[in-house]
């Protein structure tokens, strides 16, 4: 199937992916731009997973100070090369993540950073709440797991809905920038400072 240049251009603008990849995705999806976007995102996830083991020694440290100077964030995001660290898309991604941390008060980058003791304590609290609310025994476990997932969505940066597009998680955003740059990128760490807290 031949694909019009306009559709390739539209897909490229939506995804930032190369012309040949856009053309191939459109051919695979019979010219459906929305399905092509979805296909490219899935391929991006697969390629991001392949790159995950590669070393990241370059990157940026971003400082974000919220208007009014009562809240600030320091964030380190790593990539593989200095070339990508200077790339405008990468810089925009780092700025967006710093704003995300400021707006949402994430506690950790990934759920693996929580120690087992803290997770056990949360589980104990949710179990007690469920019993106090008179939930039947066969529902308590599902209730507790649901509350724990909600806790992760609020506390874990990668699992939060992105402030500029709640339909995407920060992890989706990370996957997109990995697909766009072709490098392994990691949100290494952050600190959030709030006046008086």
Identify the residue with better confidence: 81 or 20: 81
Phi, psi of 114 (to 5 degrees): -70, 135
Count of CB atoms situated within 10 Å of the CB of 115: 9
Percent of residues, the chain, with pLDDT higher than 70: 88
What pLDDT does residue 6 have? 80
What's the CATH code, domain 5-51? 1.10.8.10
Span 93-146, pLDDT tens digits: 999 999 999 999 899 999 999 888 888 999 899 989 888 888 888 888 888 899
Q: How far apart are CA 122 and CA 169, in angstroms?
A: 23
Span 64-95, pLDDT tens digits: 998 888 999 999 999 988 888 899 999 999 99
3-state class (DSSP) for residue 174: helix
Domains 5-51 and 58-109+156-194 share a fold: no
Beta strands 58-65; 71-79: pairing state: antiparallel
Phi, psi of 191 (to 5 degrees): -135, 135
Phi, psi of 196 (to 5 degrees): 85, 5
Distances 178 to 6, 43, 54, 81, 114 between C-alpha atoms, Å: 25, 11, 12, 13, 25
Q: Looking at the whole model, is its pTM more than 0.75? A: no
∠ CA(33), CA(88), CA(12), 5° rounding? 15
Domain 58-109+156-194 has CATH 3.30.930.10: no
What pLDDT does residue 46 have? 47
- For the domain made up of 115-154, the CATH class stated in words is mainly alpha
Domain layout of the chain by residue ranges? 5-51, 58-109+156-194, 115-154
Count of CB atoms situated within 10 Å of the CB of 171: 18
Mean pLDDT over each residue of the chain, to the nearest integer: 85
Q: How far apart are CA 36 and CA 68, in angstroms?
A: 43
């Amino acid at each position: 199937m031949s694909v019009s240049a306009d559709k390739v251009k539209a897909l490229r603008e939506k995804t930032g992916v190369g012309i040949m990849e856009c053309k191939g995705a459109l051919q695979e999806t019979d010219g459906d731009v929305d399905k092509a976007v979805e296909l490219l995102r899935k391929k991006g996830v697969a390629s991001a997973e392949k790159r995950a083991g590669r070393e990241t020694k370059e990157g940026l440290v971003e400082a974000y100070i919220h208007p009014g100077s009562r809240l600030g964030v320091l964030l380190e995001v790593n990539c593989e090369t200095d070339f990508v660290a200077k790339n405008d898309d990468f810089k925009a991604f780092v700025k967006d993540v710093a704003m995300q941390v400021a707006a949402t008060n994430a506690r950790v980058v990934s759920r693996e950073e929580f120690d087992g003791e803290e997770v056990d304590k949360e589980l104990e609290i949710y179990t007690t709440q469920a019993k106090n609310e008179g939930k039947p025994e066969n529902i308590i476990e599902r209730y507790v797991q649901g509350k724990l997932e909600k806790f992760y969505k609020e506390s874990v940066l990668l699992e939060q809905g992105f402030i500029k597009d709640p339909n995407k998680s920060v992890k989706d955003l990370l996957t997109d920038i990995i697909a766009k740059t072709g490098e392994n990128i990691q949100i290494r760490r952050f600190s959030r400072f709030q006046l008086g807290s």
